[in-house]
Structure 1
């Protein structure tokens, strides 16, 4: 067992799927850890990569002013979304207006869902006098290529007769042009995403992400064709050739729409890492705790947990993963910088129990692990 006497314990989890936000997960881990190892000094740095929890995490890190606004949800219904204003920059979480979590699983329709609400959030940021908008991408229910966002900006897709097309990506197969020029004034755009998929093709928005949003194999092909037509219109109308650009396929092609509007691309995870001063916290830590809903093979491919573990390994600091479920072998985890990984499901006995009381299960697991990793000061 590693001797971690006199240590600072850094708690830096991602969100736990649809059960706990990153902030809630960090608090649950901290609560249990205090019970199991009360002498430790805890640093909480909840993390996000641009998807759900992006605004919540940045508000914790930066402070700033939250703006609450009613916008169009992915199915056209009103939803309440929050964006963060900090020193002239708006931080917008696209999932708050167009997120998959807003649509019951049985009602998901990738071809009909819209990003119109994301455009409405951008307009609210313009009205508030923001100079820059950082749009976090991820967790969307949409595959409309950002056409809904364009519609909110007065530049929605139209057919050959100039009539507005219905919301959703499927209708874009009939797109013949734009209703106008999108106008965000002098607002500078940043697309925050850790997805590098292009808009089209086998690794594009429809093929990779469409099925999880309710698209059948036939609908995936139809959506890819519709997005192909949309990309042609963006090229014709705005001279924006975005189809093959890395990140254009993020959030169902919303990344492509932002790129067509002149956005630069930044890693959502790296942005949060910088703004939350994660590196300084890693420098001071004697033990690092991270986690997410499912610690699996995807976790080792650049996701937040692997980035935290790599940062700890660079400093020779042990890193533990506390996750809802664990399917990564010990050797693979060790190669990624993870000393040990622990499962809430195994701790409480079943997936159902873990889902029924996620915070309590995570807190209980943290208490048990803290006892195993207790420093001599406790």
Structure 2
């Protein structure tokens, strides 16, 4: 029996490659004769670059001294993959430069995406003809102003000081940025379809998890509205980029990238295409996927839903292994998932958090006893 193992990260405990290995090791305990095919996945958030490197290979570089969200330097990965006819695609991950996990202290109105712009600049300097930016897991809500600043944008206020620094903005000059990226194709990979502004925008939807209180959400949303006018103009036709799906991704990085001509692709779909997930699924008998918490939000462009869709198209059963399972059988079937199993049900929550790899191995061993035809 051939088993495809294509999990997402288990947030806060295991990266996608670690999760895939743990599932494979546990499965082999119960079914040593089965063949496991490991394809770690990502939706564009944390683990995007590492997961792609595990499947695509390529040259993984470290960009040192990238500015973190509050100015503390960090090291961040840059993946370069050469294609045909001299093309070179670079993959960068916003979370490695402005991720929530990088904060030493919470100061959401000061957090900047400048470091993401530095990664894009490093990719261009490395000869990339296409730059794919994975969006997700950010602590920023600056509309991508920091990214634009790192690439050469100029304004009448600081662009690299978070949304607070944008207060009073009236003009932004992107001519130097457009010139620098004139021969580069940009792609934003994300699972978020939110616009930049308003009730479902970046500040209101994701601000609370980044530390913005109610008053700050209103304040930041107004600042971003003025930023849109400064970048695009005040007419509805000029401002429409702020309303596009994905403009609110990663605190507005999606907006900045789309202003520069980026296309937005579902992160899981893009990763699945890059690693040939459909071909892998057709060549296996069973598809396993997983994430930390399998819940109703898993349907919103997340890895589990994307993998289940591909498994369904290949007429292969899909089974989920998760830290927690918070959906019922009806929702599970609607996502194309045959069965779902939780680590907390097997070893308990305390052990799941303290020993995540071994807990996932034990869960996979249990699942193999049910699903393997050994």
Query: For the superposition of Structure 1 and Structure 2, which TM-score range results when normalised by the shorter chain?
Result: over 0.9
The equivalent position to 1:199 in structure 2, one of 188, 196, 199, is 196
Q: Which residue matches 2:70?
A: 75
SS class of match (2:131):
strand
Q: Which residue matches 1:118?
A: 116
Report the alpha carbon displacement of residue 314 of structure 1 after superposing the two structures with TM. Answer: 3.2
Q: Which residue matches 1:332?
A: 331
Q: Is the 8 A contact 1:147 1:157 kept in 2?
A: no
The equivalent position to 2:41 in structure 1, one of 29, 47, 69, is 47
Report the alpha carbon displacement of residue 241 of structure 1 after superposing the two structures with TM. Answer: 4.6
Q: 1:136 to 1:182 in 2, by over 3 A?
A: farther
Q: Which residue matches 1:146?
A: 144
Report the alpha carbon displacement of residue 12 of structure 1 after superposing the two structures with TM. Answer: 0.7
Q: 1:302 to 1:117 in 2, by over 3 A?
A: closer
SS class of match (2:243):
coil
1:1-378 to 2 correspondence within 5 Å? 7-70=1-64, 71-87=66-82, 88-103=88-103, 107-159=105-157, 164=158, 167-178=161-172, 181-183=175-177, 184-185=180-181, 186-236=183-233, 241-350=240-349, 352-375=350-373, 378=374
* TM-score (norm: length of structure 1): 0.92
Q: Distance in 1 between matches of 2:301 and 2:273?
A: 16
Runs of 4+ displaced beyond 4 Å = none
Report the alpha carbon displacement of residue 246 of structure 1 after superposing the two structures with TM. Answer: 1.4
Q: Distance in 2 between matches of 1:141 and 1:371?
A: 41
Once the two structures are superposed, residues 181-235 of structure 1 have per-residue CA deviations (whole angstroms, 9 ceiling, x without a partner) of 3422422211111211111000111000111101101111111001001100111
Report the alpha carbon displacement of residue 240 of structure 1 after superposing the two structures with TM. Answer: 6.7
Q: Is the 8 A contact 1:192 1:265 kept in 2?
A: yes
Q: Distance in 2 between matches of 1:16 and 1:362?
A: 10
Gaps of 5+ in 1: 1-6
Q: 1:34 to 1:230 in 2, by over 3 A?
A: same
Q: Distance in 1 between matches of 2:145 and 2:101?
A: 20
Gaps of 5+ in 2: 83-87
**Aligned residue pairs: how many?**
362
RMSD across aligned C-alpha pairs, in angstroms? 1.7
Q: Distance in 2 between matches of 1:179 and 1:288?
A: 49
Report the alpha carbon displacement of residue 258 of structure 1 after superposing the two structures with TM. Answer: 0.7
Report the alpha carbon displacement of residue 110 of structure 1 after superposing the two structures with TM. Answer: 2.1
Q: Distance in 2 between matches of 1:62 and 1:222?
A: 43
Q: Is the 8 A contact 1:11 1:290 kept in 2?
A: yes
